[in-house]
Amino acid sequence: MLNRTAENVARATPEPLARKVRGISDKGLAWLFISPTILLLLAINIFPLFWAIYLSFTNYRANRPNEVVKNLGFANYQRILGDKDIWIAMQTTAHFVFWTILLQTLIGFTLAWLIDRKFRGHAFWTTLILVPMMLSPAVVGNFWRFLYEPQIGLFAYAISFVTGIPPTNIQMLSNVSLAPWSIIIVDTWMWTPYVMLICLAGLRSIPEYIYEAAEVDRASNWRQFWSITLPMALPFIMLAVLFRGIENFKMFDMVNLLTGGGPGSTTEVASITLKRQAFESWRTGYSSAFAIILFVAVFGLANIYVKALNKVKQR
C-alpha cells in the first residue's frame, strides 16, 4: 500500500519538483534523514546541558526566578569538592554500585553457566527468570516496601522463618545498617537476569571445537573452565558490568521509593542528593555544578573502561 502511495505521490508531483525530489543526492538524503534526530537531541539534550553548565557558575535558584543572578566563577565546584556530605553520598553510591555489580555478576554468570547445559525446558525457565528486569523499577520497588514491612511483610516473615529472628526485629528499611542492603537486594533481584542474559550470549559464542580440542588434550573440566570458558566470556561479562555500572551510578527511582535516602542519609546515593539539592533546597546553580561533575565522572570512567574492554577483546 505504501509503495502505491509513494508512486502516486511521485506521479502527482509537478515535473520540475519531481525531478528535484527524485534527483536528491545521497548526501542530501543522508542529512535529511539524520538531521531531525540531531536537532531534537540538540534541543532536548545539548541545549539544556549548556544551560546547566552556565547555571553551575551562578547562584541561581529556580524558586526565586526574579532575583539577580550573580556569577560565582568556580565557587560552586570548589564548594562541592570540599563538601563532606557530597563525599559521603559518593561513597554510598560506590558501595551500592560495588555490591550490586559483584552480586549480579557472580549470580548472573553462574545462572548462565547452568542454563548453558541446556537441560530440558531451559527456554521456559530462562524467560521466567528474565521477567523482573523488564518491569518498572519504581512501581515494583514501591511494592517491595510492603514485602519489607516488619512482621506483615513477606520478606521479613520468610527471613524470620528461616533464621528464627522475631519478624518485628527485621527492620530492613529503617535499620541504619540494613537499609543499604535492602536496596542492594532489590536491585540484585531485578537486574541479575540482565547480567545472566549477556553472559549466556558470551557462553554460547564460544565455538565448540575449542572444547573438543581441550578434550583431546585431556584438559580437566576445571582447567577448561578457567582457560576457555571464563576468558572467552570475559568481554561479555565486562560489557554487562559497564551497562550495570552506568545504570546504577545514576540509580534514582528505586532508592527514592524504597528509602528516599533514609534513614537519615544512610542510603543517600548521588542522585538522591542531587534531587534534594535541586528540587527541595532549590539550589539550582549548586546542583547544576554537581550534575556536571557527575556527568564528567560517568563519562570519564566509562571511557577508561571501554578502552580496557577493547584491550580484552583484542586478546
Partner 1 sequence: MSLTTAHSVVAPSANSKRIAGAIIIAYALISIVPLLWIFATSFKTPPDSIAYPPKLLFQPSLEGYCNLFTTRTRQTPEYINSLGPATDFCDETTRKRNMVIAGPSNFLPRFVNSLIIAFGSTFCAVFLGTLSAYGFSRFKVPLADDLLFFILSTRMMPPIAVAIPIYLMYRELGLSDTALGMILLYTAVNVSLAVWLLKGFIDEIPREYEEAAMIDGYTRLQAFWRTVLPQATTGIAATAIFCLIFAWNEYAFAALLTSGTAQTAPPFIPTIIGEGGQDWPAVAAGTTIFLVPILVFTILLRKQLLRGITFGAVRK
| 140 scored as a contact of partner 1 (CB under 8 A) | yes
Min dist. Cβ of residue 179 to partner 1 (A): 18
Separation of alpha carbons 155 and 148, rounded Å: 6
Q: Which residues ranging from 160 to 219 are in contact with partner 1 (CB under 8 A)? A: 167, 189, 192-194, 197-198, 201, 204-205, 208, 211-212, 214-215
Nearer to partner 1, 183 or 239 (CB): 239
The set of residues, in sequence order, having a beta carbon less than 8 Å from that of 198 and lying 6+ positions away, is 108, 236, 237, 239, 240, 243
Smallest distance from partner 1 to CB 171, Å: 15
Whole-angstrom Cα distance, residue 259 to residue 257? 6
Q: Is residue 47 part of the contact set for partner 1 (CB under 8 A)?
A: yes
Nearest one of 143, 179, 150, 178 to 259, comparing CA atoms: 179
The closest of 180, 197, 174 to 268, measured between CA atoms, is 180
Cβ atoms of 72 and 57 within 8 Å: the answer is yes
Q: Does 117 bind partner 1 (CB under 8 A)?
A: yes
- In the complex, the smallest distance separating the C-beta of residue 210 from partner 1, rounded to whole angstroms, is 9
Kindly state whether residue 222 participates in binding partner 1, applying the rule CB under 8 A. no
Residues 238-267 that bind partner 1 (CB under 8 A): 239, 243, 246, 249-250, 252-253, 256-257
- Which alpha helices (H) appear in 205-283, and where do they start and end? 208-216, 221-224, 230-249, 253-258, 270-275
By CB under 8 A, tell whether 230 contacts partner 1: no
Residue in the block written with cell 548521588: 270
Beta bridge partners of 58: 71
**Residues in 16-45 that interact with partner 1 by CB under 8 A:** 21-22, 24, 26-27, 29-34, 36-38, 40-41, 43-45
- 308 near partner 1 (CB under 8 A): no
